[in-house]
Every structure is written in structure tokens, then in C-alpha cells.
């Protein structure tokens, strides 16, 4: 919790009669439907509009309070916001979930059925976007003046289907129906320029100036979404930009009869906000991605200036009123955009503009993998953003002078630290630009931040050690326990009070209850109810019957080689082999669940999905083993699906190669809901182990130093293949076509890669992973001890609230304070 945070009590809530009248008003007057003509989507919309009304005055009051108090605000820039569904989250944060349930029951309606009508807002692909969503919830709950800025993609992350075991991508048209939670702001329309050329001239004072002219122009239209705090009157704003053509179509083409040509330019312009993550294995996709990143950066920086200018005309005060947090490298073009406006438009000298810029920006790094550290080809930047490239070159020249003065006669260091990668095609290193222009650079777990300082950005740390810090990620307990697991939430609140919803450290009070047999029984009864609910979903979607009495072993995350879903399915095959060889083997029944999306152009990841489904087909249809072992791949992983899986999980698979996962937040969500973790010493797993206790987590495999040592000493994966009979059998089965009878060579690329390279050390960790899984089996056979450790995992999650993370950002980086919101209006019904 932040020091001196105001403990505001929200105003008197509406009565159930007022709620009912509001619902019926919107049904009859907004939607023009009655009980005879209304469909379920209509009823959902009427409910959403009625709930939105409860947010509206709070929203207006919040924004007025920020202006009235002249509060410093943080602007959180992210290419992804994985918000999920809004309705139930809003009801919980308003404290009106039970009241609305009562009202709708009196009308013969089921609130749960209406909630299912809402489409997930899937404007992200996993941890980065979901972290941003959790942060927005915490910022509003802690009454901190904040805005989230992103792109209103017309099509979110693709909708994943599984056909013949393979991933098929179809458009995620989440805006097919009206979205009651967004408000278009026609008055907030900013021009964003591309292309053109730069004109250099000398002004009356003799100063050399630059003008960016002859550009193509795209308009950025703002759409605002309310972000309510938990049981207070704060409602912050998430503003997403939609690309609009500067004109509807070219009338000249239209008059000449070229109707397609007349709208072609408009369509091409508006493609910028059409889809999240265009395929970037082609030049056109890369260029569109760059356009998206600058579109977000430019519109947002212009909007920040617009808001700042309402009360201030002294630009030197900008860092006192504005903090900009860059969520990874995607929004880093905001740095040269701010410099362009300050130098070219506001006519500041370079030194003043640079001081303002570096005091305003802060950068969060989210990856250790070189492949994920963005770089952009210099020729592409020259074509699309010629003035920004000039500014980047100037920043780099001044930076290189500073480095050379600090570390003379060290040409290699200059090459490593330069903003321009000179090897091969010249490319701009966006992470380097972010570090140079930010006053704070943070990692997202203790291990990750240490790797940044000692390895990835070691040179920069030696230059500016004071800039580097750690902010371990967190999750919002309001969504990831209270919302998604109401049965467990109610039990916890009954036992220790509901203070944990605001201060997750309160969960420590559960520790003595782990020794209470009756409490353990109730805890596991709730776990089984959640498993039954998920089992019904699996049967409905996958036609696979799974037992809620089996261990639910879950790995749900983006499909990537470093996350090692392949290692998991290899141990499943090994377990299947043991069950076949020893039919009476006393292992607990296990249901292994996978879910996650592979990038459309990521062939290896898509092949792993195909293998998982191939193994599932063999295992689930073998009568000799299918009472002991089941496998299912749950298609189209989303926030809503995650909300079903986390409460039902017994075992959480967090098995990335040590030193590759920056943090992870799925590990936190699973543990918060009472799952035990099997994992490596990677990312936030280490800190989870420290909080829950080494005896209450299953740790295996190489640590980060060990992994680096194995590679440096000349790793030979084939040595493990020949030394470990179980491993050899598994790889031979995959290679032989046992799990792909229609195409026996289908999985050869996976096996070949493991035997000849295995960069992520699956074979090196395989044996230790099997040993850890055997330890899991032994513990699960002792239900009382398993229940005890499950409770202790939840009890140890206090550190991992996004409230704690945001408090650290606010205090250490942004310098912002909570704002008391005074209600100016009253409810009108």
C-alpha cells in the first residue's frame, strides 16, 4: 500500500429497485426491446448500459479531480491490453455483484448467462497485455492518476481453432457487435504523419531548424474505456487509438469511375489499427508493425501535450506533471516523437529538450531473448520516419561521445552500446534507445533484473547503475481470485475477513488454518467443484471425459520453445510408457491440460501443438491407460478460459529454461488459487519459492548459471539421448510416427532440433523433470498433505499483488500521489 493513501468510502449505493428501473429503461428506450423481443445479447447490453451509468459520474468526477488538483499523472503506453470481459469485473469493483444478481433473478434472468454474451477484448497475446490490464486495475484501486494508452485493434489476437490436431487461425472479430464499454471521442483526433522529407532551414535567430513536410497523414481517433477502482469512486481511463483516413475517399478517382481506387487509400490507411500483430515474416508486415508502433507513440504524445497545455505553458514543468512508462520496446518511438515536438515545433534547444525527455520517460524491459529485442532497419525508418531517424542519429552521436569520454580506447564497447547495429543491414536498437533516454530501467523479477545488469545490458549498467532497478510483476487479486474463484474467495473472507482484496499480505492469516483438518476439507471440496466445472467445459468443447478426481496438471501460456511445452508432452509420453509397461503401477490419475496460441508464422510452435494433440489421440483412446492418464488441448486460450482453468488446477507447470522467462504471471495466478508449482529456478518462480517455502514447491533442473555453464562447455544433447533409456524411447516414438500415423515424418524437425541443438536444454533437464513429477505423484497420493501445501501456497502470495508492484513504481519511478475523489453529482434514476 502507498503511504498516506486516502481510505475513501464510496457514496451510498443504489437500491435494487433503482437498479431494476435502470435495466428496464435501457431495455425499453436504449435498445427498444421488451421481454417478448429481447434476445440474450439484448439483455446483456441493457445490463451493461445500466452498469455503465453507475460508472459515468464517478468517471467525470475523477477526471475533474485530477485537473482541479493539478495532479502529476502517469501515462502507461502498451501495444497490448488483454482486458478480458468487463461486466463482472465492473460489478465486483462497484460492490454490486450480489445486488444485480438479486434484481435479475426477480426478472427471471441468470446473470451468469448474460455475462457469457460478452466477447473477450483480446487486444493482447499473453503476459505483456494481461500485466498491463492488472496494472490499470491497481492504479484505479489505489486512486492514482493514470491513463493507459494503446491501439483499438479491429481484430484482436486471432481466434484459435484446432482442426485435425493443428492450429487454425481465424479472425477475432470482437467488435462484431456494439461495445457498450467504449466511447468514441471525436474531439480527440490527432494527425499522425508518415513518409515525406525533411527540410533544413535557419530561423531569424540564426538557429538551424528542421521541418518535416510532404507527408502522408493518418488520423488517430480516441476511444475511451472506463477503469473502475475497487470499491472507491475512482474511474480511470484507458484510451485506445483507431486509425481513420484523413479523407473518406479520393473524389477524383470516384468521378472517373474508379470506385475501387477511390476507397483504396482509405482502406490502406485504416489498416494500421486493423489487426494485432500483423505477420512480420514479410516486409509488408514489418512495415505495418512499425506504422502501428509510431501511430500509438505519436497520437499519445500529442494527447499528453494537449492535456498538459490546459493548465501549463512552461514546458520545463512537463516532467513535474507527466510520467511516461514504456511497456517494453514497442512504444519507444515516443522518445524521438517527444524530441521532435520539443525541438521542431516548440523551438527548444537540444539540451533543454533532452533534459525534459529523460526526466519524463521510464522503460520496463520484459525479455531476455535477443530475438525479442526489437530492432528496425535504418532504410525502413528513413522511408517512413525520416525526421525521427535524424533525431536518433543525433542522440546516438552525443551518446557515443559520452561513452568514449567515460571509457576511452574501448571501440568494442562503443559498438556494443551504439543505438545503431552496424553488422549487416544497419538497424536501430530500440532497447538501447529506451535505456539512453529514460531515467529508470527496470526488470520484472529479481533474477531478470540481475541478468539485465550482469549480462544483457551490462555495459549500460556500468555507465548508469543508478538507472537500473527491479519491479517484480504482480496480478490483481480482484480478478484472479475474487472474480474467477468466488467459492474460494468466500471461504477465505469467512475465515480471515476480506481485507485481502486490498492488501494481499492478509493471506498470511491462512497459514495456521493449513493445520485445521475441517478447513482443509472445505478447501479441497471447493477445488473439486471448480474441477467439475472445468471438466464439463472440456467435455462440451473437446468431447473428452475427464474425472474431477484426477490431478489437473496445467500448462497454459503462449506456445514457445523456451516455455518448453515440448518437455511437458515428452514426460506425458514417458508416463504413458510406464503405465503400459507396468499396468498395476500405483500412480494417481492425471489429466494433463495445455492451452495457448502459437504465432501464425512460428512453425516449430505450431508443430508442438500438433504433437500434443497427436499424443492426446493415442493416450485418450487406449483403454489400457485412459483411466489413469488423459491429455487435452483447450483451444483459444483467453482471459475467460483462464478464469475457468486457474481455480481448477492442482499442478502449475512453470518449466521454462532457467534464465529465459523474465517473470511470468501465470505462475502467480495458479498459486493464488491453491495450485502447487512444478518449475525451474526461472523468473518469478524463485521469489514464489521464497514466499511459499522450498518444501511447498517442486523445483527441478538447471539454474540460470548452470544452463549458461552447460552451453559454454559444449552441450552435446545426443549424450543424454544415448544415456537415458526413457528419453531415447520417447524421442524414437515421436520420430517413428507413432503420434502422426498419417505422416510418419511429421515430427522429425522437432526431434532433429533436440538431438542436434536443443538450445533450451530439454534433454539436459529431462531426467530431473521426471524425478520431480514422481515427487508430485507421491504427494498427491496423500490428500491431507497436498491440501495443506495448497493452502500454504495461497497464503504465501501476498507479495505478488499488482498493488504492491504499482506502489513501487509510483514511489520509486513516477513520483505520483493518490488523489481523493469528491463526488460532485448524485445518482439519477
3-state SS record for 334-393:
HHHHHHHHHHHHCCCCHHHHHHHHHHHEEEECCCCCHHHCCEEEHHHHHHHCHHHHHHHH
CA atoms within 13 A on the CB side of 124: 24
From 503, 533, 476, 803, select the one nearest 672 (Cα to Cα). 476
What is the rounded distance in angstroms from the CA atom of residue 89 to the CA atom of residue 85? 7
Which of left, alpha, beta for 155 (phi over 0: left; psi -120 to 50: alpha)? beta
Q: Which of 329, 591, 665, 794 is catalytic?
A: 665
Q: Give one DSSP letter per residue of 37-54, joined into a string.
A: T--HHHHHHHHHHHHHHH
Whether 665 is a known active-site residue: answer yes
Q: Which of 52, 73, 479, 558 is catalytic?
A: 558
CA dihedral 715, 720, 723, 728 (to 10 degrees): -150
What is the rounded distance in angstroms from the CA atom of residue 292 to the CA atom of residue 343? 24
- Name the DSSP class of 323: E
What is the rounded distance in angstroms from the CA atom of residue 238 to the CA atom of residue 505? 28
Instruction: Give the burial string for 412-445 (b: 16+ CB within 10 Å, else e).
Output: ebeebbbbbbeeeeebbbbbbbbbbbbbbbbbbb
Q: Give one DSSP letter per residue of 771-809, joined into a string.
A: HHHHHHHHHHT-HHHHHHHHHHHHHT-GGGBHHHHHHHH
Whether 669 is a known active-site residue: answer yes
For 799, the grid coordinates are 507479495
Q: Which of 557, 630, 788, 789 is catalytic?
A: 557
For 48, the grid coordinates are 451493461
Residues 475 and 665 sit within 8 Å (Cβ to Cβ): yes
Q: Which of 239, 483, 563, 606 is catalytic?
A: 563
Which of left, alpha, beta for 409 (phi over 0: left; psi -120 to 50: alpha)? left
Whether 388 is a known active-site residue: answer no
Angle at 148 between CA 144 and CA 149, to 5 degrees: 150
What is the rounded distance in angstroms from the CA atom of residue 138 to the CA atom of residue 801? 9
* Helices (H) then strands (E): counts for the chain: 33, 24
Whether 558 is a known active-site residue: answer yes
C-alpha distance across the termini of the chain, in Å: 36
Query: How are beta strands 468-470 and 441-443 bridged, if at all?
Result: parallel
Give the torsion sign (CA, 305, 345, 427, 219): positive
Q: Which of 188, 366, 478, 483 is catalytic?
A: 366
Residues 115 and 85 sit within 8 Å (Cβ to Cβ): yes
* SS3 assignment, position 32: coil
Q: Which of 26, 97, 669, 788 is catalytic?
A: 669
Whether 30 is a known active-site residue: answer no
What is the rounded distance in angstroms from the CA atom of residue 75 to the CA atom of residue 67? 15
Active site residues: 366, 557-558, 563, 665, 669
Amino acid at each position: 500500500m502507498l503511504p498516506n493513501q486516502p481510505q475513501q468510502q464510496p457514496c451510498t449505493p443504489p437500491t435494487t429497485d433503482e437498479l431494476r428501473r435502470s435495466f428496464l429503461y435501457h431495455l425499453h428506450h436504449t435498445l427498444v426491446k421488451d421481454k417478448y423481443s429481447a434476445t440474450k445479447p439484448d439483455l446483456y447490453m441493457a445490463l451493461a448500459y445500466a452498469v455503465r451509468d453507475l460508472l459515468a459520474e464517478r468517471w467525470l468526477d475523477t477526471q475533474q479531480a485530477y485537473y482541479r488538483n493539478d495532479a502529476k499523472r502517469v501515462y502507461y503506453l502498451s501495444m497490448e491490453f488483454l482486458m478480458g470481459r468487463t461486466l463482472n469485473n465492473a460489478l465486483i469493483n462497484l460492490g454490486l455483484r450480489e445486488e444485480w444478481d438479486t434484481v435479475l433473478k426477480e426478472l427471471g434472468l441468470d446473470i451468469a448467462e448474460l455475462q457469457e454474451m460478452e466477447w473477450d477484448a483480446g487486444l493482447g497475446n499473453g503476459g505483456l497485455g494481461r500485466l498491463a490490464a492488472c496494472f490499470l486495475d491497481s492504479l484505479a484501486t489505489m486512486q492514482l492518476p493514470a491513463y493507459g494508452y494503446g491501439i483499438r485493434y479491429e481484430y484482436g489476437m486471432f481466434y484459435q481453432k484446432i482442426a485435425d490436431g493443428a492450429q487454425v487461425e481465424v479472425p477475432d472479430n470482437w467488435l462484431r457487435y456494439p461495445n457498450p464499454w467504449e466511447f468514441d471521442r471525436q474531439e480527440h483526433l490527432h494527425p499522425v504523419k508518415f513518409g515525406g522529407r525533411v527540410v533544413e532551414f535557419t530561423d531569424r535567430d540564426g538557429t538551424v531548424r528542421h521541418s518535416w513536410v510532404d507527408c502522408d497523414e493518418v488520423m488517430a481517433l480516441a476511444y475511451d474505456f472506463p477503469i473502475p477502482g475497487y470499491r472507491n469512486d475512482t474511474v480511470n481511463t484507458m484510451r485506445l487509438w483507431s486509425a481513420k483516413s484523413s479523407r473518406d475517399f479520393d473524389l477524383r478517382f470516384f468521378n472517373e469511375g474508379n470506385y475501387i481506387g477511390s476507397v483504396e487509400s482509405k482502406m490502406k490507411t485504416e489498416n494500421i489499427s486493423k489487426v494485432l500483430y500483423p505477420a512480420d515474416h514479410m516486409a509488408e508486415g514489418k512495415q505495418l508493425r512499425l506504422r502501428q508502433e509510431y501511430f500509438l507513440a505519436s497520437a499519445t504524445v500529442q494527447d499528453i501535450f494537449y492535456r498538459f497545455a490546459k493548465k501549463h505553458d512552461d514546458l520545463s514543468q512537463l516532467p513535474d506533471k507527466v510520467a511516461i512508462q514504456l511497456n517494453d520496446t514497442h512504444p519507444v518511438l515516443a522518445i524521438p516523437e517527444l524530441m521532435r515536438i520539443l525541438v521542431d515545433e516548440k523551438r527548444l534547444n537540444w539540451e533543454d529538450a533532452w533534459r525534459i525527455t529523460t526526466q519524463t520517460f521510464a522503460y520496463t524491459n520484459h525479455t531476455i531473448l535477443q530475438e525479442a529485442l526489437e530492432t528496425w532497419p535504418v532504410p525502413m525508418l528513413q522511408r517512413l520516419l525520416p525526421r525521427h531517424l535524424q533525431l536518433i542519429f543525433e542522440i546516438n552521436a552525443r551518446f557515443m561521445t559520452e561513452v568514449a569520454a567515460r571509457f576511452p580506447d574501448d571501440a568494442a564497447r562503443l559498438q556494443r552500446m551504439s543505438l545503431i547495429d552496424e553488422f549487416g543491414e544497419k538497424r536501430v536498437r530500440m532497447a538501447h534507445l529506451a535505456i539512453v533516454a529514460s531515467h529508470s530501467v527496470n526488470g520484472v523479477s529479481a533474477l531478470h533484473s540481475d541478468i539485465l545488469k550482469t549480462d544483457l545490458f551490462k555495459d549500460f549498467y556500468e555507465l548508469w547503475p543508478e538507472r537500473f532497478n527491479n519491479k517484480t510483476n504482480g496480478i490483481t487479486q480482484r480478478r484472479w481470485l475474487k472474480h474467477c474463484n468466488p467459492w474460494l474467495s468466500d471461504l477465505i473472507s469467512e475465515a480471515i475477513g476480506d481485507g485481502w482484496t486490498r492488501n494481499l499480505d492478509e493471506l498470511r492469516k491462512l497459514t495456521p488454518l493449513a493445520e485445521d483438518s475441517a478447513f482443509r476439507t472445505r478447501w479441497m471440496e471447493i477445488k473439486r467443484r471448480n474441477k467439475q466445472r472445468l471438466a464439463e467445459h472440456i467435455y462440451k468443447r473437446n468431447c473428452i471425459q475427464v474425472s474431477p478426481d484426477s490431478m489437473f496438471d496445467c500448462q497454459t501460456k503462449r506456445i514457445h520453445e523456451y516455455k518448453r511445452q515440448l518437455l511437458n508432452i515428452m514426460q506425458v509420453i514417458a508416463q504413458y510408457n510406464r503405465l503400459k509397461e507396468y499396468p498395476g503401477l500405483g500412480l494417481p490419475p492425471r489429466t494433463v491440460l495445455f492451452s495457448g496460441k502459437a504465432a501464425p508464422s512460428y512453425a516449430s510452435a505450431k508443430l508442438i501443438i500438433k504433437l500434443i494433440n497427436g499424443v492426446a489421440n493415442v493416450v485418450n483412446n487406449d483403454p489400457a491407460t485412459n483411466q489413469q492418464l488423459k491429455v487435452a488441448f483447450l483451444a483459444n486460450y483467453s482471459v475467460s478460459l483462464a478464469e475457468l482453468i486457474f481455480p481448477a488446477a492442482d499442478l502449475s507447470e512453470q518449466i521454462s529454461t532457467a534464465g529465459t522467462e523474465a517473470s511470468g504471471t501465470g505462475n502467480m495466478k495458479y498459486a493464488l488459487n491453491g495450485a502447487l508449482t512444478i518449475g525451474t529456478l526461472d523468473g518469478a518462480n524463485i521469489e514464489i519459492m521464497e514466499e511459499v517455502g522450498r518444501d511447498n514447491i517442486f523445483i527441478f533442473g538447471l539454474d540460470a548459471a548452470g544452463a549458461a555453464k552447460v552451453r559454454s562447455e559444449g552441450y552435446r544433447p545426443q549424450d543424454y539421448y544415448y544415456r537415458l533409456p526413457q528419453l531415447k524411447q520417447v524421442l524414437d516414438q515421436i520420430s517413428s510416427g507413432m503420434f502422426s500415423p498419417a505422416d510418419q515424418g511429421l515430427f522429425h524437425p522437432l526431434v532433429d532440433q533436440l538431438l542436434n541443438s536443443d538450445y533450451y536444454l530439454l534433454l539436459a533437464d529431462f531426467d530431473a523433470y521426471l524425478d520431480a513429477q514422481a515427487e508430485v505423484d507421491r504427494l498427491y497420493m496423500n490428500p491431507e498433505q497436498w491440501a495443506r501445501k495448497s493452502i500454504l501456497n495461497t497464503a504465501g502470495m501476498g507479495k505478488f499483488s499488482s498493488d504492491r508492484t504499482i506502489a513501487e513504481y509510483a514511489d520509486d519511478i513516477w513520483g505520483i500521489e493518490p488523489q481523493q475523489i469528491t463526488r460532485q453529482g448524485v445518482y439519477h434514476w
